């Protein structure tokens, strides 16, 4: 029997599906090739990914089997007019408010809130408390300064708090570790939480150890791995690992817990607790520190210079006015304007400051690697298309020599009222 020769051109023409646009699409199945002459809508990969997204704390999971579409919706979509829907615009989904009226237990999240704002470690503490509470069908209680007017701009519901417990006014003082420990101890005596989670920071670690001494319980400090069944951290210089079931008191190390998903919680305020504390510390206060004496790895606010800076006297004055730690790119350090230990980049120091103010830095790949962990980047450059401008959260297209004196004048005006 003679085999029939295939005609690739005819097979391709039979599989062409009209799309109504300048491009053609080939049908993958016979049902596709039988599509009407008017065509059918092209696939939207972003829409398919959104439909397959399944919320699983603390991370998102994609379900391509189609079961996510048949499951009950976890978000309420905003109303969209038929005209807008006809143009293919998807409704913006708003997370549903999660309310826990009768929790099986409570999990406390004790936050630093340094300078009146939540740090990245504070948010990780909230995520750790949320993980422990969800495993026990419990609720997360965030400990905040006294009164809603002092809570700041934080959206406690979006941060995963089911309850917000106002603490005494001493909580917001500059340095009051004894008052904070007494307030947490009084709250524990009244509400009996199953777990109390602290940040393993300079202030949070101090309060955690004071609370452990007050209540007479052991603290598992510096948790580096957390699950509902086990907590662990390295010990012995990294040669061994300590692990156990989650204790009542634990402090979380940086980057030990993944951030929370988009689910919102109630954040219902609780009645404040009365605390009687007679601190033995007198006039405790923080001493001023020379910002340039702080290592780049520990600096919270970095003022960095690149090849676009020529007025080094103004750069030094701006660093003193802002209270920022000075740094620079490799070109600046090679030229001798700053010491070598002030170089930021893959060949220098990798920084994780909260704010990074960059003057005249183009943004070489090695430098961008060095600021990968920075929270907020502000770039001043005359080149609109510089890589640093693209990386920045806020960009100012101007000459660094004109911006630096203006910032110095502004800081002096604010300092002198």
Rounded to two decimals, the pTM is 0.64
Residue 186 tokens, joined: 């009084």
pLDDT of amino acid 246: 94
Give the pLDDT mean for 260-274: 80
CATH classification for the domain delimited by 106-269, as one of 3.20.20.70, 3.40.50.300, 3.40.720.10, 3.40.50.620: 3.40.50.620
- CA gap 194, 106 in Å, rounded: 6
Please, what is the Cα angle at 358 between 362 and 302, to 5 degrees?
Answer: 140
What lies within 8 Å, CB to CB, of 100 at 6+ separation is 138, 139, 162, 265, 266
Closest Cα to residue 308, out of 382, 248, 406? 382
**pLDDT tens digits, residue range 369-380?**
999 889 899 999
Q: For domain 293-415, give the CATH superfamily.
A: TPP-binding domain (3.40.50.1220)
Question: Do residues 89 and 107 make contact, with C-beta atoms less than 8 angstroms apart?
Answer: no
What is the band of 15 on the pLDDT scale with cuts at 50, 70, 90? low
pLDDT of amino acid 297: 87
- CA gap 136, 103 in Å, rounded: 9
Please, which residues bridge with residue 110 across strands?
A: 143
Q: In the predicted model, what is the mean pLDDT of the chain?
A: 80
User: Minimum mean pLDDT among 19-33, 49-63, 143-157, 400-414: which range?
Assistant: 19-33
Residue 362: count of CB within 10 angstroms of its CB: 19
| Whether the predicted pLDDT of 12 surpasses 60 | yes
pLDDT of amino acid 40: 56
Question: Do residues 238 and 232 make contact, with C-beta atoms less than 8 angstroms apart?
Answer: no
Intra-chain end-to-end CA distance of the chain, in Å: 100
Structural domain boundaries in the chain: 43-72, 106-269, 293-415
- Tell me the percentage of the chain whose pLDDT exceeds 70: 71
Give the pLDDT mean for 308-318: 94
Please, what is the Cα angle at 370 between 366 and 375, to 5 degrees?
Answer: 135
pLDDT of amino acid 359: 96
Give the pLDDT mean for 327-343: 94
- CA gap 142, 90 in Å, rounded: 35
User: Minimum mean pLDDT among 27-41, 193-207, 313-327, 391-405: which range?
Assistant: 27-41
What is the band of 217 on the pLDDT scale with cuts at 50, 70, 90? very high
Give the pLDDT mean for 305-310: 94
| Whether the predicted pLDDT of 260 surpasses 80 | no
Which three-class secondary structure string do you get for 347-367? CCECCCCCEEEEECCCCCHHH
pLDDT of amino acid 313: 94
Spacing of C-alpha 59 from chain mean position: 13
| Whether the predicted pLDDT of 9 surpasses 90 | no
Residue 291 tokens, joined: 């910002």
Residue 262: count of CB within 10 angstroms of its CB: 13
Residue 388 tokens, joined: 């640093």
pLDDT of amino acid 24: 57
Question: Do residues 344 and 296 make contact, with C-beta atoms less than 8 angstroms apart?
Answer: yes
Cα radius of gyration rounded to whole Å, the chain: 28
| Whether the predicted pLDDT of 382 surpasses 90 | yes
| Whether the predicted pLDDT of 36 surpasses 60 | no
- CA gap 167, 187 in Å, rounded: 9
Domains 106-269 and 293-415 share a fold: yes
**pLDDT tens digits, residue range 72-105?**
444 444 444 444 444 444 444 556 778 888 999 9
Edge-first strand listing for the sheet containing 268-269 = 219-223, 249-252, 195-199, 106-110, 139-144, 163-166, 268-269
Write out the E strands in 179-293: 195-199, 219-223, 225-226, 231-235, 240-244, 249-252, 264-265, 268-269
pLDDT of amino acid 174: 61
Q: Which of the two residues, 32 and 402, has the higher pLDDT score?
A: 402
Q: Residue 271: how many CA atoms within 13 Å on its side-chain side?
A: 4
Residue with tokens 């948010």: 123
Q: Which of the two residues, 68 and 361, has the higher pLDDT score?
A: 361
Give the pLDDT mean for 263-282: 76
SS3 381: strand
**pLDDT tens digits, residue range 228-242?**
999 999 888 778 888
What is the band of 408 on the pLDDT scale with cuts at 50, 70, 90? very high
What is the band of 170 on the pLDDT scale with cuts at 50, 70, 90? low
Residue 266 tokens, joined: 């109630």
Q: Which of the two residues, 38 and 316, has the higher pLDDT score?
A: 316
């Amino acid at each position: 029997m003679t085999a029939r020769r295939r005609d690739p051109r005819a097979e391709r023409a039979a599989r062409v599906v009209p799309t109504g646009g300048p491009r053609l699409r080939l049908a993958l199945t016979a049902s596709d090739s039988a599509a009407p002459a008017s065509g059918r809508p092209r696939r939207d990969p972003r829409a398919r990914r959104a439909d397959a997204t399944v919320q699983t704390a603390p991370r998102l999971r994609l379900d391509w089997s189609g079961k996510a579409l048949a499951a009950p919706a976890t978000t309420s979509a905003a109303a969209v007019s038929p005209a807008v829907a006809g143009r293919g615009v998807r409704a913006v989904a708003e997370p549903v408010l999660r309310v826990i009226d009768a929790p099986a237990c409570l999990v406390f999240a004790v936050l630093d809130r340094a300078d009146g704002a939540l740090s990245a470690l504070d948010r990780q503490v909230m995520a750790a408390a949320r993980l422990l509470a969800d495993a026990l069908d419990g609720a997360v209680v965030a400990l905040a300064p006294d009164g809603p007017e002092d809570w700041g701009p934080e959206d406690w519901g979006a941060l995963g708090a089911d309850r917000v417990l106002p603490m005494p006014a001493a909580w917001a003082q500059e340095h009051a570790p004894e008052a904070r420990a007494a307030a947490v101890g009084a709250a524990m005596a009244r509400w009996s939480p199953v777990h109390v989670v602290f940040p393993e920071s300079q202030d949070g670690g101090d309060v955690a150890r004071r609370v452990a001494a007050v209540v007479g319980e052991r603290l598992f400090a510096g948790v580096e791995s957390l699950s509902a069944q086990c907590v662990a951290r390295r010990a012995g210089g990294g040669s061994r690992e300590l692990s156990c079931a989650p204790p009542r008191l634990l402090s979380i190390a940086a980057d030990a817990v993944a951030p929370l998903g988009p689910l919102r919680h109630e954040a219902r305020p609780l009645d404040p607790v009365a605390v009687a504390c007679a601190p033995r510390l007198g006039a405790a206060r923080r001493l001023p520190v020379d910002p340039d004496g702080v290592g780049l790895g520990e600096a919270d606010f970095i003022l960095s210079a690149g090849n676009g800076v020529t007025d080094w006297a103004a750069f030094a004055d701006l660093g003193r006015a802002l209270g920022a730690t000075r740094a620079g790119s490799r070109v600046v350090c090679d030229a001798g304007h700053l010491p070598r230990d002030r170089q930021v980049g893959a060949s220098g120091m990798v920084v994780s400051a909260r704010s990074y103010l960059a003057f005249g830095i183009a943004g070489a790949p090695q430098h961008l690697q060095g600021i990968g962990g920075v929270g907020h980047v502000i770039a001043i450059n005359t080149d609109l298309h510089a890589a640093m401008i693209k990386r920045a959260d806020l960009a100012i297209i101007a000459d660094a020599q004109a911006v630096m004196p203006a910032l110095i004048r502004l800081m002096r005006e604010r300092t002198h009222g």
